[in-house]
Structure 1
Amino acid sequence: MATARTANPTSVMGLNKPANGQLKGQPKPANLQSIPSAAAQQPAGPQKGSSIPQSSGGIKFGDDWKKCLQLPPKDTRMKTSDVTSTKGNEFEDYCLKRELLMGIFEMGWEKPSPVQEESIPIALSGRDILARAKNGTGKSGAYLIPLLERIDLKKDHIQAIVMVPTRELALQMSQISIQLSKHLGGVKVMATTGGTNLRDDIMRLDETVHVIIATPGRILDLVKKGVAKVDKTQMMVMDEADKLLSQDFVILIEEIISFLPKDRQILLYSATFPVSVQKFMAKHLKKPYEINLMEELTQKVHCLNTLFSRLQINQSIIFCNSTQRVELLAKKITQLGYSCFYIHAKMMQEYRNRVFHDFRNGLCRNLVCTDLFTRGIDIQAVNVVINFDFPKSAETYLHRIGRSGRFGHLGLAINLITSEDRFNLKGIEEQLVTDIKPIPSSIDKSLYVAEFHSVDPDDDGGDGEAKQKELGAA
């Protein structure tokens, strides 16, 4: 089944859990991303006047080279556990070139993050990698550091390709590569993307290029023209692999791989692992080392974030299987910047009454709850129901999805499904003689969005099950 792709949640610190279940998020901040200029395609050599020695070789005992580094201001902001929960390793532990270490420290990277700890030694060994990690946790360093370490400056051909889905990400990764390698003394990095002058790229490839960071369509065009020769390329990285292996890109990726040598190394990094990634792994990766730093809750929150951005939600009810999950999810949704209430059986009755009253009056768009909220609750504005945790019985499933599509309106029911849910999913489909379809790339609004009209007060609206469009995401 298809998995909804997600953006990186925005962390908001200092939220306290109120007893009344009413959490309201702050306005979602704009995603500010600096885009390097076209000059990022040119390699950055050692800075003039730098007192840093440019000699090759590893770190020597007693060397005081760190004192000469031009370090950025120390980042004193609070960091989340997905970056700080490390094994205590240092970058020096990986026997990297001194010059690469200089670039790492001058980037402000003090110690490897969890995904870097897992990835760097394995990538250096030449083994394929399939890594699942959240955006913003150091994925770029996890593959760029071993990639640059393995570049042989004595060879003048393309030694590594980094595939990314967008021009902005390509330029950003090329800039990071240039900064990391500025003391290595001659690593040539090139960014090439669609929408730019093809002739400039062809002229650039007349010179030595060691690393290409590209979008699929442009690099395939250059390869087919015989300009980008990749028959000796030993490493290919796919960042945001879930997007690169979607229907938009997968055919291009397959064709690019056909030009690479058979003994190449492939590194996949993705926040989610849809079926497309699994199929690609089985076909092209050789006994990959799997890294999973995305707990099930975090991955589902990513899916939820994407759904919120894509759906036209009047109001939504989101079901969890336990009171602990309800409160945790409500906090996560609030951290994403969305208003959210929660309700469960362990709350005092007066608080539950207040939450229900305020939600029904439209003071909040999203409500997270347990099955306490599945029967006899009629809220006209609710047009989306999400089973964050998939139910275990057909009866519970029917009552849950019946919360949308009330009073003759259309409704949408979405299920976030893990591999552990597959047996319950199959059983419920068989019992209800229904087919819960994978989430499509775009959902027709006519399936669940309808303009409000006057409601007959004598019409109880039925259970609403007949008006559901049922979808599942794995």
Structure 2
Amino acid sequence: MATKMENTGPAVMGLNTHNRQLLGQPKAPSQLGPQTVSAQPGKEPMVTQKPANASQERPGIRFGDDWKKSLQLPAKDSRVKTSDVTATKGNEFEDYCLKRELLMGIFEMGWEKPSPIQVIDARTSKHRQVTSLSGQHGYPQCLCLKEYDHLKLKSIVIVPTRELALQVSQISIQISKHLGGVKVMATTGGTNLRDDIMRLDEEVHVVIATPGRILDLIKKGIAKVDKVQMMVMDEADKLLSQDFVVIIEDIIGFLSKNRQILLYSATFPISVQKFMAKHLQKPYEINLMEELTLKGITQYYAYVTERQKVHCLNTLFSRLQINQSIIFCNSTQRVELLAKKITQLGYSCFYIHAKMMQEYRNRVFHDFRNGLCRNLVCTDLFTRGIDIQAVNVVINFDFPRNAETYLHRIGRSGRFGHLGLAINLISAEDRFNLKTTEDQLMTDIKPIPGSIDKSLYVAEFHSVNPDCEAEAPQPGEGSEAQ
């Protein structure tokens, strides 16, 4: 970036005079069930689901009863969904011979019908490679259908980021809560190795891990994976990039030759193709890229100078109806400086990046996911698979350097076919990247109009604490980036 933002001092992460939220203070999770363990400083969740006691949780279910009537269903999601994720050809979850206890967890998660990617039957022994558009499918949901229908399967789910590991583990815990005896463990770098040793001393059915940590546990003899029957790689294109591919190869070397490998990816680069040719025998490939589109996400750009960016962001905040927003920058320094600017403007704001201590990353992710703050400033750490339903606006404060990153960023809004808005602040040096991105993704990014139709991105969805937001200042009151 030709011009740097003025360093106005260290931003206070996740602290705002309007929302009174201190990230260092533990707080009981508001959305997780009693069996779950929230992310605490230095620890990752591992939960043993106790056998469901019908007399404690719900009236006894006898043969012939309508078991669906006893479920504790969440409020029905009335938001509009695009046809590309609702066109499941009449399939129902019951069509796939899943256990009743698993179906109970699925419906209590609020999933009514399977998406196009969820209709895939992963119970065969074949290897699979699934390519589907970012933000439209929900990888963790598909993974869980396989793992928890067969409780005795020992599975490893490998994801590229710690936040994604926490998200998948929480969903896994919720969906399997009626399956008595399920043990789910999440382990990532930056956490206490002694805790992992104690947890792996007992039987674990599913481990969700980042690559470096699981390889470390394997080499130390703590995680015994010779009998693991399935390895799932979420965000496979990232896991098979230069950052992780050597680690992934080492992990596979410790697995049984009869293991099943499932790859899930929003893109299909040459690295994934080479990996498939080497490790997957006659894989079953599912490519939904041609069927799914970005039509649920409306994309605009605003042509501004670097000095005008904060002023433009202030204007957007005052004119848009934001449930929650994610704002992307290209460096950790700019993330912290922008978070401070936004806080000075009077808006609630957290920030997150890879150089933060893990305990603070966990707390920011947990609190933003639970709606305790309206805006989150981050690096590309948050582009991979993070699924927060309330996010309806994504803003690229710094335009990404390549089309793949752009695809993952804007996919944080418009999750699972819901409507979303992506706004890009474009400086003179970004104009060529903008054109390249449009060409590669075959999409149209239009100039931002004076007024944006709320029906393009607003739905009846309120999960953010209304007390966390101060009254929006009028455009022009804020300072500009220098």
Q: Give TM-score, length-normalised by structure 1.
A: 0.55
Show the counterpart of 2:139.
Answer: 139
Identical counterparts, % of pairs:
61
Distance 1:166 1:54, change over 3 A: farther
Match of 1:128 in 2: 127
Write the letter of the residue equivalent to 1:231: D
CA distance in 2 between counterparts of 1:299 and 1:68 reads 37
Q: Is the 8 A contact 1:44 1:179 kept in 2?
A: no
1:114 is matched with which residue? 116
- For residue 336 of structure 1, give the secondary structure of its aligned residue in structure 2: strand
3-state SS of paired residue (2:157): strand
Q: Which residue pairs with 1:410 in the alignment?
A: none
Q: 1:86 to 1:244 in 2, by over 3 A?
A: same
Aligned length: 295
Residue 227 of structure 1: CA displacement? 1.1
Displacement over 6 Å in runs of 4+: 299-302, 311-314
Indicate the SS of the match to 2:268. Answer: coil
Q: Answer yes or no: is 1:385 the counterpart of 2:459.
A: no
Q: Which of 44, 51, 62 lines up with 2:58 in the alignment?
A: 51
Distance 1:313-1:173 versus aligned 2 partners, 3 A rule: closer
Counterparts of 1:199-210 in structure 2 under 5 Å? 199-210=194-205
Contact persistence 1:40–1:178 (CA under 8 A): no
Contact 2:165 2:209 in 1 (8 A): yes
2:284 equivalent among 281, 289, 300: 289
Q: How is 1:450-461 mapped onto 2 (pairs within 5 angstroms)?
A: none
Counterpart residue number, 2:422: 336
Cα distance change of structure 1 residues 149 and 296 upon mapping to structure 2, 3 Å threshold? closer
Of 218, 221, 225, the residue aligned with 1:223 is 218
Structure number with higher relative contact order (C-alpha < 8 Å, ≥ 6 residues apart): 2
Matches of 2:79 and 2:157, distance apart in 1: 30
1:201-258 deviations in Å (ceiling 9; x for gaps): 0111111111100000010011111111110100000011111111111100000001
Deviation of the 1:135 alpha carbon: 2.6
CA deviations 1:392-451 (Å, max 9, x no partner) are xxxxxxxxxxxxxxxxxxxxx789569xxxxxxxxxxxxxxxxxxxxxxxxxxxxxxxxx
* CA displacement, residues 142-185 of structure 1 (integer Å, 9 cap, x when unaligned): 12111111222xxxxx7100000111111111111111111111
- Confirm or deny: 8 A CA contact 1:54 1:99 kept in the other structure: no
Tell me if structure 2 keeps the 8 A contact 1:161–1:211.
Answer: yes
Amino acid across the alignment from 1:213: I
Stretches of structure 2 that go unaligned for 5 or more consecutive residues are: 1-30, 33-37, 302-327, 331-395, 404-419, 442-482
Instruction: Identify which of 74, 90, 93 aligns with 1:91.
Output: 93
The residue aligned with 2:245 is 250
- Secondary structure of the residue that 1:115 maps to in structure 2? coil
Q: Structure 1 residues 416 and 285, CA, compared in 2 at 3 Å: closer, same or farther?
A: farther
- What is the rounded CA distance, in whole Å, between the counterparts of 2:250 and 2:61 in structure 1? 40
Are the structure 2 counterparts of residues 54 and 210 from structure 1 closer, same or farther at C-alpha, using a change threshold of 3 Å? farther
Correspondences of 1:22-33 after superposition (within 5 Å): none
* Cα distance in 2 between the residues matched to 1:248 and 1:299: 28
Determine helix, strand or coil for the equivalent of 2:196.
helix
Following superposition, the deviation at residue 46 of structure 1 comes to: 5.0
- For the residues of structure 2 that align with 1:313 and 1:194, how far apart are their CA atoms? 28
**Structure 2 residue aligned with 1:41:** 46
Shift of 1:269: 0.5
**Residues 240 and 271 in structure 2, CA contact (< 8 A), matched pair in contact too:** yes
Change beyond 3 A, Cα 1:52–1:43: farther
Aligned letter for 1:113?
Answer: S
1:313 touches 1:384 (CA, 8 Å); kept in 2?
no
Name the CA distance, whole Å, in 2 between partners of 1:125 and 1:414.
Answer: 38
Over 3 Å counting, the alpha-carbon distance change for 1:299 and 1:292 in structure 2 is: farther
Distance 1:287 1:149 in 2: 24
Q: Note the C-alpha offset of 1:335.
A: 3.6
Distance 1:242 1:416, change over 3 A: farther
Amino acid corresponding to residue 422 of structure 2 in structure 1: L
How far has the Cα of 1:138 moved from its partner?
A: 2.3
Deviation at 1:385, TM superposition (A): 2.2
**Other-structure match for 1:241:** 236
Using the TM superposition, give the Cα deviation of residue 313 of structure 1 relative to its aligned residue in structure 2, in angstroms.
Answer: 7.6
Q: Go from structure 1 to structure 2 and tell me whether the alpha carbon gap of 1:215 and 1:39 turns closer, same or farther (over 3 Å shift).
A: closer
TM-score (norm 2): 0.54
Change (3 A) 1:205 1:114: same
Residue pairs, 1:151-230, within 5 angstroms: 151-152=151-152, 159-230=154-225
Shift of 1:63: 3.5
1:262 pairs, out of 249, 257, 260, with 257
Q: Name the CA distance, whole Å, in 2 between partners of 1:53 and 1:130.
A: 41
Q: Secondary structure at the match of 2:76?
A: coil
2:148 alignment partner AA: L
| Residues 339-362 of structure 1, C-alpha deviations (whole Å, 9 max, x = no match) | 6xxxxxxxxxxxxxxxxxxxxxxx
Letter in 2 for 1:85: A
Distance 1:296 1:97 in 2: 30
| Residue equivalent to 1:23 | none
Equivalent residue letter for 1:269: Y
- Say if 1:276 and 1:54 are closer, same or farther in 2 by CA, change over 3 A: farther
